[in-house]
Amino acid sequence: MFEDNYKLRGLRNKLVKKLREKGIRNEAVLRAIATVPRHVFFENALIEHAYQDKAFPIGEGQTISQPYTVAFQTEKLEIKPGDKVLEIGTGSGYQACVLLELGAKVYTIEYNRRLHELAKDLLPRLGYKPYFFHGDGSKGLPHKAPFDKILVTAGAPVVPRALTDQLAENGILVIPVGDREKQTMLQIRKHNGELTTTEFANFAFVPLLGQAGWKI
């Protein structure tokens, strides 16, 4: 149904080599990226772009994140098999596939109905089965909380309180926070109910919308 071949696998391995050179060290994350066929998220005419290390438009003004960004955020989540993970911003669904490859149980929420429907249709056909939700992920997913890990894949103006509340003890939240153009990647850990934040490099994400996000 979806073609994968020697050439595409070769391009994926080249991408993994590039991510390694850029500093991604977690072998399980690199293996997941070597496994998920990123080209199926692209139209046929654009397949040559699939294994370049760059973000790409997926319609509705949104993007599939740059592979380096996916690898960086996933590494900072320190996923263990069986972790219950909330992803905010399903987008194409690619990041959810990477999390599933790592053995996580994935809950993914998307604000844009069309993108939500597209991912909900595509991923099961590839054999990837996260739980899909449509709505405002800046409020988290209170009826499914707590989560071992929470990943925000859109740029937030602040850390939404709902998300730290829905983080399990010893949990990790990874979220880019800043202004509309540029955000700092934060890794927030909860230990004995206390939050500790580590700051990483700057990234540029599309804005997080909704109650705790940017107003359009």
> Can you give the binding site for ligand SAM, defined by CB under 6 A?
62-65, 88-89, 91-92, 94-95, 109-112, 115, 136-138, 153-154, 205-206, 208-210, 213
User: 13 is written with which tokens?
Assistant: 């391995």
Phi, psi dihedrals of residue 141, rounded to the nearest 5°: -140, 75
The CA distance from 78 to 187, in Å, is 10
In the block, residue with structure tokens 């069986």: 82
Residue 77: closest CA among 151, 185, 155: 151
Query: CB-wise, 112 or 187, nearer to ligand SAM?
Result: 112
In the set 65, 69, 74, 183, the catalytic residue is 65
Q: How far is the CB of 109 from ligand SAM (least distance, A)?
A: 5
Q: Which is nearer to ligand SAM, 36 or 188 (CB)?
A: 36
**Closest distance to ligand SAM from the beta carbon of 38 (Å):** 9
C-beta of 194 vs 216, nearer to ligand SAM: 216
Provide CB contacts within 8 A for 187, sequence distance 6+: 76, 172, 173, 174, 197, 198, 200
Nearer to ligand SAM, 43 or 169 (CB): 43
CB of 160 to ligand SAM, least distance (A): 9
Alpha-carbon span 88 to 71, nearest angstrom? 16
Q: Give the shortest CB-132-to-ligand SAM separation in angstroms.
A: 11
Active site residue 138: no
Q: Phi first, then psi: what are they for 135, rounded to 5°?
A: 160, -165
| Sequence-ordered alpha helix ranges (H) in 60-112 | 67-77, 94-101
Active site residues: 65
